[in-house]
């Protein structure tokens, strides 16, 4: 290696760098590029570095050339952005002619920082600033942890406040982006973080990293470990191996959260914070808790969130949202709410064993004010009086489960006097003319879950905000009131019940249309002011276009099954696109656009990305031009760990001006220097971007943004209308194909199946008809 100092007026032409054997080499295609290296004394040295050498050899030769007294092991190389030069990125740094700096080795830096943290040095803030920057590097992190740096950092977090606490928490957050080194965090530390977040006096720059730390702990459960699938066949929960950071999870974190009851309330309140990033972090923590809540704590936790009216807070965010990062989080929240709603729907109502169910039914009955002297819960007439067909409540709620019971309870609680009045009014009529109110409530619940395609947890293709869905109980109340009003206005009898259900289904479709843009008062008006004759005329027109067979229960159940299959098919197709790989343009984050001079250009304009077959890493290569990429990963030397990706933000970056012509910009998207609608970014929990990419067309953008979202542990929502329409189209096509087997033979499809009486003895067998 040859080196010259820039102190002379004329710099001699450097010679090719020496390799490890003392001979000289040239890089492919000509001389080895020249790099400037700044020494610790501020001298700038021009040198040629052989890219095939290990970094240790490069540092050693630099120390020899500069005649430094300290051993080479005390030095390292960094670029102008303070990124550590390693064997993995040395070739790229040399090729890009990066300006390098000869600095202290990670071991020296780590030792000095740990010493300052232990001594509570007055300049500890500067040490923490360096720590939060370097801690992401494995070489530095290993040295820091080896010197008990984690213990000292925890000590600082436990005893500090203000900006020092913010710096320390950010350093911890960055450390936790690694998959090792923080397995020693105990319950006391978790409680410290919980208390920091519970305090309303905590600064925003303190709350943001503290929220991210708690989120990471929630997600670090044994079930989420990379090797958890290997233990799935064994009984009991998987056990983390020694030293694994996957030893926390929801149960561990929630146990400490329960010691600070105000934590959840404070986090929900911060959704309305004027600081958008703080709202984003709070939204991400709530989503993480919802996605990882265990069965034992599910009811307790979801009830607590409902009590804090988290849905209302998120609806407010929908109208105030201005950044794509928050949009993704809101869609994640909607997907989690779909899962919760479905889980409630399939949870059986059993007042004999579930105290909450027993209390809800007791409240509903007491508010009805019917024959108050009848207090026997096993009375043969009790529940028929408020509109059930029988006294078997388990059977009555079979189709809608605990969700139906919750809806009925909310309907009663909305206006107990109205409920009592309606019940008394129906009881005053002849039995044939009475509206079965409770049964109607359950039917409305079923209609709403059908309308919002609540068929299974984790399966939702909605790409837009659904504020009416988040107001599920309010919509149920309005729709049930509409049902009762139509019953009265039409003079219906018991035999007309299916007709009224169909009428309500039609009104639900109309009232809840264009959900993401319609104001709430129009929904209220549609349900409370629509006249029976107008609704009936419209429904008759709809029936002319649609066979009423589609509304029967077996067909609705079939559609639900096909919807899940279609969603899974589309998911596998999207993941297949990721494993095939594709070329993207490297983008420039729009937030950095101040002037053309301040744009930080990517190292190369093009990037090819491919997901490995294990679905854990995105492998990629940057290039100045597109080239044929072979199957496998040999041509893709770099990778991104998907476990570090917390958000897939869309519309975040712009193409370089000279590359705009290579991108298919949709018409009406505005100036090409604005953020491209075909762009997306892979963000970590600390909002660090791992990749800023622009797709070549809308189809590729949809494939990759939706595929990456479906790949995330806490994801599940789709980002593009293409995916939503694709899932719906496949569902409808599959449904029509299935119906051809029935309607072609003119087979009558029953509205429901009646369960016969059980056999009187065991003297029977099932006929094997498969051989016929």
Per run of 10 residues, the mean pLDDT along the chain (length 772 residues) is 44 40 41 69 79 86 84 87 84 81 89 89 83 90 92 91 91 90 92 91 86 92 67 56 85 93 91 82 91 90 92 87 70 89 92 90 91 52 88 92 95 94 91 92 94 75 84 96 92 89 91 89 92 84 60 71 82 88 87 42 83 88 88 86 80 70 44 72 79 89 86 65 81 79 50 61 66 42
| Residues in a beta bridge with 79 | 100
Strands lying side by side in the sheet with 689-694: 638-641, 617-623, 606-611, 582-586, 689-694, 679-683, 647-650
- Specify the pLDDT at position 713: 62
- Tokens standing for residue 663: 């991108």
- Tokens standing for residue 465: 């905000």
- Specify the pLDDT at position 666: 45
Q: Is residue 758 exposed (0-12), middle (13-18) or buried (19+ Cβ within 10 Å)?
A: exposed
Q: Tell which residue, 249, 256, 187, 242, has the closest CA to residue 222.
A: 249
* pTM listed for this prediction: 0.71
Q: Tell which residue, 146, 84, 80, has the closest CA to residue 114.
A: 146
Domains observed in the chain: 3-104 (3.10.20.90), 355-546 (no CATH), 564-723 (2.30.29.30)
State the residue for tokens 């096993």. 378
Q: What is the DSSP letter of 457?
A: T
Per-residue CA distances from 721 to 33, 220, 449, 566, 729 (Å): 48, 32, 21, 15, 12
- Specify the pLDDT at position 755: 58
Q: Tell which residue, 295, 297, 342, 743, has the closest CA to residue 564.
A: 342
- Specify the pLDDT at position 236: 55
Mention every residue, 6+ apart, whose C-beta is less than 8 A from residue 518.
Answer: none
Contact assessment for residue 477 and residue 411, using Cβ atoms and an 8 Å cutoff: yes
| Residues in a beta bridge with 640 | 618
Residue 150 exposure: Cα atoms within 13 Å on the Cβ side: 17
609's enclosing H/E stretch is strand 606-611
Please give the torsion angle defined by the CA atoms of residues 733, 737, 738 and 742, in that order, rounded to the nearest 10 degrees. 140
Please state, in angstroms and rounded to a whole number, the distance separating the CA atoms of residues 708 and 711.
Answer: 5
Please state, in angstroms and rounded to a whole number, the distance separating the CA atoms of residues 334 and 730.
Answer: 23
State the residue for tokens 């044994």. 222
Q: What is the DSSP letter of 585?
A: E
Please state, in angstroms and rounded to a whole number, the distance separating the CA atoms of residues 507 and 426.
Answer: 23
**What b/e sequence results for 125-162 when a residue is b if at least 16 CB atoms lie within 10 Å of its CB, and e otherwise?**
bebbebbbebbbbebbbbbbbebebbebbbebbeebee
- Specify the pLDDT at position 439: 95
Per-residue CA distances from 657 to 583, 602, 674 (Å): 19, 13, 10
Q: Tell which residue, 170, 130, 171, has the closest CA to residue 150.
A: 171
Q: Rounded to an integer, what is the distance from CA 688 to the centroid of its chain?
A: 16
Q: Tell which residue, 188, 157, 186, has the closest CA to residue 171.
A: 157
DSSP string, 202-265: S-HHHHHHHHHHHHHHHH--GGGSTTGGGGTTSSSS--PPTT-S----HHHHHHHHTTSTHHHH
């Amino acid at each position: 290696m040859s080196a010259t100092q820039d102190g002379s007026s004329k710099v001699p032409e450097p010679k090719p760098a020496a390799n490890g054997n003392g001979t000289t080499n040239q890089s492919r295609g000509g001389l080895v590029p020249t790099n400037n290296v700044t020494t610790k004394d501020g001298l700038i040295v021009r040198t040629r570095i052989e890219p095939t050498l290990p970094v240790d050899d490069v540092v050693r030769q630099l120390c020899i050339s500069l005649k430094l007294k300290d051993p080479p092991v005390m030095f390292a190389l960094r670029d102008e952005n303070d990124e550590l030069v390693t064997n993995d990125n040395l070739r790229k740094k040399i090729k890009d002619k990066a300006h390098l700096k000869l600095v202290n080795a990670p071991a020296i830096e780590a030792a000095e920082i740990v010493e300052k943290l232990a001594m509570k040095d007055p300049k500890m803030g500067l040490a923490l600033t360096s720590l939060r920057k370097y801690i992401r590097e494995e070489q530095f992190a290993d040295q820091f942890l080896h010197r008990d740096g984690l213990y000292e950092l925890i000590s600082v977090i436990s005893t500090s406040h203000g900006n020092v606490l913010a710096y320390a928490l950010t350093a911890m957050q960055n450390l936790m982006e690694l998959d090792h080194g923080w397995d020693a965090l105990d319950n006391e530390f978790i409680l410290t973080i919980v208390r920091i977040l519970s305090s309303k006096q905590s600064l925003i720059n303190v709350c943001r990293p503290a929220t991210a730390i708690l989120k990471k702990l929630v997600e670090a459960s044994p079930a989420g470990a990379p090797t958890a699938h290997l233990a799935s066949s064994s009984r009991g929960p998987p056990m983390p191996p020694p030293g694994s950071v996957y030893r926390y999870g929801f149960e561990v974190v929630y146990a400490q959260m329960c010691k600070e009851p105000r934590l959840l309330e404070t986090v929900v309140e911060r959704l309305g914070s004027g600081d958008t990033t703080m709202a984003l972090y709070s939204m991400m923590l709530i989503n993480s808790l919802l996605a990882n809540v265990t069965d034992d704590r599910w009811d307790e936790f979801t009830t607590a969130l409902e009590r804090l009216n988290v849905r209302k807070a998120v609806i407010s965010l929908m109208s105030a949202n201005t950044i794509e990062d928050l949009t993704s989080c809101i869609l994640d929240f909607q997907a989690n709410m779909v899962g919760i709603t479905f889980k409630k729907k399939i949870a059986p109502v059993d007042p004999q064993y579930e105290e909450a169910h027993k209390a809800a039914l007791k409240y509903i009955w007491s508010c009805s004010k019917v024959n108050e002297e009848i207090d026997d819960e096993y009375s043969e007439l009790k529940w028929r009086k408020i509109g059930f067909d029988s006294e078997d409540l388990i059977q009555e709620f079979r189709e809608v489960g605990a969700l139906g019971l919750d809806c009925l309870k909310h309907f009663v609680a909305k206006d107990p006097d109205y409920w009592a009045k309606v019940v008394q009014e129906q009881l005053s009529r002849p039995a044939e003319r009475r509206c079965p109110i409770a049964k109607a409530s359950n039917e409305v619940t079923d209609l709403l879950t059908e309308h919002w395609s609540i068929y299974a947890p984790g399966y939702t293709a909605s790409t837009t905000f659904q504020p009416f869905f988040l107001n599920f109980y309010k919509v149920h109340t309005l729709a049930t009131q509409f049902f009762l009003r139509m019953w009265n206005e039409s003079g219906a009898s018991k035999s007309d019940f299916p007709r009224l259900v169909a009428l309500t289904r039609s009104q639900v479709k109309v009232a809840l249309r264009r959900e993401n843009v319609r104001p709430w008062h129009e929904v209220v008006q549609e349900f409370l002011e629509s006249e029976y004759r107008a609704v009936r005329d419209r429904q008759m027109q709809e029936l002319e276009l649609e066979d009423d067979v589609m509304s029967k229960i077996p067909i609705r159940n079939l559609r639900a099954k096909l919807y899940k299959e279609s969603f899974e098919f589309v998911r596998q197709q999207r993941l297949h696109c990721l494993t095939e790989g594709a070329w993207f343009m490297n983008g420039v984050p729009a937030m950095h656009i101040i002037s053309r001079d301040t744009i930080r250009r990517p190292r190369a304009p093009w990037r090819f990305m491919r997901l490995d077959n294990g679905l854990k890493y995105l492998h990629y290569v940057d290039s100045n031009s597109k080239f044929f990429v072979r199957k496998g990963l040999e041509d893709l030397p770099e990778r991104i760990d998907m476990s570090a990706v917390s958000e897939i933000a869309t519309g975040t970056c712009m193409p370089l001006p000279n590359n705009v012509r290579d991108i298919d910009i949709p018409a009406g998207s505005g100036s090409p220097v604005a953020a491209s609608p075909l762009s997306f970014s892979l963000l970590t929990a600390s909002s660090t971007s791992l990749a800023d990419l622009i797709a070549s067309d809308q189809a590729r953008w949809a494939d990759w943004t939706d595929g990456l979202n479906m790949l995330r542990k806490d994801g599940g929502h789709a980002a593009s209308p293409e995916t939503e329409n694709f899932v719906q189209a496949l569902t409808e096509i599959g449904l029509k194909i299935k119906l051809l087997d029935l309607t072609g033979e003119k087979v009558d499809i029953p509205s429901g199946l009646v369960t016969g009486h059980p056999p009187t003895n065991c003297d029977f067998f099932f006929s094997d008809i498969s051989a016929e």
